[in-house]
């Protein structure tokens, strides 16, 4: 998928990526995400677009950002998160100014309903697995406060080679 995207024209890649990211921002905004959060994400996306159009992003960053944007458009937040991690690990100096906005967009996009075209092709088990209910791990205490009882899971990278490399680095530093 990444190699296919690398052959596209820079302008087209930027236009398509920014359109996907803005559409996702519009969708999360419609869910009722705070205006100040949406404004901040929008500001970070404008920063991304400016860096892209002024030639400050390398080709790999452009391609991985396009994959990330396309994944968000398809409501594949796991792939978008993997691309976010790849960009942060391999290209932090290029993405650090705007990636915080994209990360928040991914986080908020997890609350969006599944993409209808993807839901039709997914079987019942897959559809259940990808659905997200933001209140599923929350309970109320006696004083009406909400407690998040989500269990933290270790980070898993889709690429076994990258996962192995990261685990080695983590075990050496500990």
Q: Which residue has the higher pLDDT, 45 or 5?
A: 45
Return the ∠ at Cα 53 (arms to 47 and 55), rounded to 5°: 105
Give which of 54, 21, 53 is closest to 38, Cα–Cα: 21
- Percentage of the residues of the chain whose pLDDT score is greater than 90: 56
**Distance of CA 51 to CAs 18, 128, 141, 158, Å?**
12, 39, 47, 28
- Model pLDDT, residue 82: 96
pLDDT in tens, 20-37: 999 999 999 999 899 999
Contact 9, 75 (CB under 8 A): no
- Model pLDDT, residue 162: 53
pLDDT in tens, 91-143: 999 999 999 999 999 999 999 987 655 544 444 444 333 333 344 444 445 55
* 148 phi-psi bin (left φ>0, alpha ψ -120 to 50, beta other): beta
- Model pLDDT, residue 9: 75
Which residue is it, tokens 């944007």?
69
- Catalogue all structural domains in the chain, each as residue range(s) with its CATH number: 2-116+124-134 (1.20.940.10)
């Amino acid at each position: 998928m990444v190699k296919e995207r690398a052959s596209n024209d820079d302008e087209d890649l930027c236009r398509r990526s920014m359109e996907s990211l803005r559409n996702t921002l519009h969708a999360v905004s419609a869910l009722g995400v705070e205006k100040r959060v949406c404004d901040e994400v929008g500001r970070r996306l404008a920063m991304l677009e400016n860096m892209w159009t002024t030639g400050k992003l390398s080709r790999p960053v452009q391609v991985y950002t396009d994959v990330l944007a396309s994944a968000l458009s398809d409501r594949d937040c796991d792939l978008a998160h993997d691309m976010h991690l790849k960009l942060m690990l391999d290209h932090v100096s290029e993405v650090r100014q705007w990636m915080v906005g994209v990360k928040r967009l991914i986080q908020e996009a997890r609350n969006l309903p599944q993409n209808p075209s993807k839901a039709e092709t997914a079987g019942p088990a897959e559809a259940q697995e990808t659905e997200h209910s933001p209140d599923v791990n929350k309970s109320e205490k006696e004083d009406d406060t909400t407690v998040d009882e989500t269990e933290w899971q270790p980070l898993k990278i889709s690429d076994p080679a990258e996962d192995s490399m990261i685990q080695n680095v983590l075990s050496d530093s500990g």
